[in-house]
Structure 1
Amino acid sequence: MIDLFGAAYSVYVRSARMALEEKGIAYQLVPIDVFAPGGPPDSFLELNPFGTIPALRHDNFTLYETVAILRYVDEAFDGPPLQPEEAGGRARMTQILSILDSHAYRTLVWNIYVERVVKPREGAPADEVGIASAIGPARTVLAALDDLVEDGPFLLGDKLTLADCHAAPMLALFEKSDEGVTLLKGAPKLSRWLQDFQRRPCFEATKPA
């Protein structure tokens, strides 16, 4: 049994959960709320000194950092492969993973989704200046990803990869904002992929409550 430590609301935890679901691996989600008063418990910091989620424990092996977890899940277990076999395909997958972590997450999730959707829901005002300043970078991210979408049902063509598992949680949240709806119209291949991917069982199984 695999223990995956984290919170269902986290896009990174959901990414790891999607990979586990696609591989057909049994796991349990061990709740860790990084936003709880006082932060994550000391027992979790023993697994990940940075206090970020997710972290994974498989028997006596522990691991943190999402991309490392994704690759471990794919390579350590039987099930459909989630990484391309050829070097070019793996490099393209890694490129998408890097774009998502380096450029998409902060801009799409925190600067737009959290400001436009989460803060007003909690009774706090949105940072309109911050949202406006994030539109340009968001448009750049979406255009770059749209340019990399290949023909087929998945980001890299006919086979689902870790890139799909990593991109879907971020873009699904982004789409909940008015800005996300508008900007995704300018990335038609990416938008079509997102609509199709949201019908997969792994997406439904990992929806936050």
Structure 2
Amino acid sequence: MLKLYNYHRSAYGRIVVIILTEKALNCEYEEIDPFAGNLSSQYLKLHPFKRVPVLKHNDLVLYETRAITEYLEEQFPNPTLMPTDIVGRARVRQIVAMIDNYGYLPLVWQVYVESIEKQSTEEGPDSEILQEGLLNSARFLGAIEELASGGKFLVGNAYSLADAHLIPMIDCFTVTKQGRAMLPDYPKLSQWWSSIRKRDSTVTSRPKY
């Protein structure tokens, strides 16, 4: 039995939903809002750092998205979401690590949140954070552009964990006018996004922004 604890607007939670969809796995779902401030003691036993997602599979409890997605890949290997060659697998892991370390913060928090989420708040967007985010996003996108295979998928000729991990970040980024204007500067990523955004798992997992 699989159960996913997730917040419907979580970029990282969406990655897990995408992979569950790609693998056609049935999964019970429980909505958890990590920003609500009233998380139950029961949930804190599952995730002591008060975040999402958490995956429960029988007696196993996993948090940290990368651990969850690699577990799902190994536990449910069909269809495979990792290349068969060692170089391809290394490239997927490299891209996923780059997303975590250099992509998520600027694309989602510094650009999307500042441009969209804070528009309706009393404090409003912080232009310095936004500009820093755009600069850092350009650096990240340039690095991914160099590594991308070109075409429908980031690594090789098949869908992989790299695609699933990048989709929510690019989707948030291109909700903003700045992100939409910037992405065409990266031809391989633009071609990838124009195709991957129409994939069923991308469409059905997409929250309302």
- TM-score (normalizing by structure 2): 0.95
- Paired with 1:107 and 1:159, the residues of 2 have a C-alpha distance of 27
SS, match of residue 68 in structure 2: helix
Q: Which residue number corresponds to residue 24 of structure 2?
A: 24
Once the two structures are TM-superposed, the CA of residue 123 in structure 1 deviates from its matched residue by 5.2
Task: Give the counterpart letter for 1:17 in structure 2.
Answer: V
- The structure 1 segments of at least 4 consecutive aligned residues displaced by more than 3 Å after TM superposition are 121-124
Task: Give the counterpart letter for 1:100 in structure 2.
Answer: I
Unpaired runs of 5+ in structure 2?
A: none
SS, match of residue 175 in structure 1: helix
- How many residues matched? 208
Q: Which residue number corresponds to residue 14 of structure 1?
A: 14
Aligned residues of 2:115 and 2:176 also touching (Cα < 8 A): yes
- Paired with 2:53 and 2:116, the residues of 1 have a C-alpha distance of 23
Unpaired runs of 5+ in structure 1?
A: none
SS, match of residue 51 in structure 1: coil
Once the two structures are TM-superposed, the CA of residue 118 in structure 1 deviates from its matched residue by 0.8
Q: Which residue number corresponds to residue 207 of structure 2?
A: 208
Q: Which residue number corresponds to residue 135 of structure 2?
A: 136
Q: Which residue number corresponds to residue 63 of structure 1?
A: 62
Once the two structures are TM-superposed, the CA of residue 152 in structure 1 deviates from its matched residue by 3.4
Task: Give the counterpart letter for 1:135 in structure 2.
Answer: L
SS, match of residue 113 in structure 2: helix
Q: Which residue number corresponds to residue 110 of structure 2?
A: 111
- Paired with 1:130 and 1:106, the residues of 2 have a C-alpha distance of 11
Aligned residues of 2:7 and 2:32 also touching (Cα < 8 A): yes
Task: Give the counterpart letter for 1:101 in structure 2.
Answer: D
Once the two structures are TM-superposed, the CA of residue 77 in structure 1 deviates from its matched residue by 1.3
Q: Which residue number corresponds to residue 43 of structure 1?
A: 42
- Paired with 2:145 and 2:29, the residues of 1 have a C-alpha distance of 32
1:124-182 residue CA offsets vs partner (Å, 9 max, x unmatched): 41101111122221110010111111033111121100010000001101001121112
